[in-house]
Amino acid sequence: MRDCGRRCVYCGTYLDLENATLDHVFPLAKGGTHSPGNLVLACCRCNRLKADLLPGEFFIRFPWAGMNFMHYARTVHRALKRCARRAVSLAYAEAA
């Protein structure tokens, strides 16, 4: 919880132990691991919203989640942050 500032990395909602879930940024169903660089704290709503989407797919659909991810996910692998940055840029470019 300390690594994410006690906030959901996708929506920024403040979390406590009752409403926090662990999310695999790169889903286990698609080859992700249980490593610390792939685990983040998420609220139940965002965890269900993301489901087993790859990070790029999720951040293109929901660019606000990618922006929050870049801010709150402090200990994730750098490649995941780069993916979020690219997806958010692409989503906003397509919207313009």
Tens of pLDDT, residue by residue over 39-69, are 999 999 999 999 999 999 999 999 999 999 9
Comparing 75 with 89, which gets the higher pLDDT? Answer: 89
Q: Are 8 and 15 in contact (CB under 8 A)?
A: yes
> What is the pLDDT, as a whole number, of residue 95?
79
Residue 83: HSE in the Cβ half-sphere, 13 Å Cα cutoff: 17
Comparing 96 with 65, which gets the higher pLDDT? Answer: 65
Give the integer Cα–Cα distance in Å for 30 and 12.
25
Domain ranges of the chain: 2-95
Report strand pairing: 39-43 vs 20-24.
antiparallel
Residue 45: HSE in the Cβ half-sphere, 13 Å Cα cutoff: 9
> What is the pLDDT, as a whole number, of residue 2?
76
CATH architecture entry for 2-95: Orthogonal Bundle (1.10)
> What is the pLDDT, as a whole number, of residue 33?
92
State the average pLDDT for the chain.
91
Comparing 12 with 92, which gets the higher pLDDT? Answer: 12
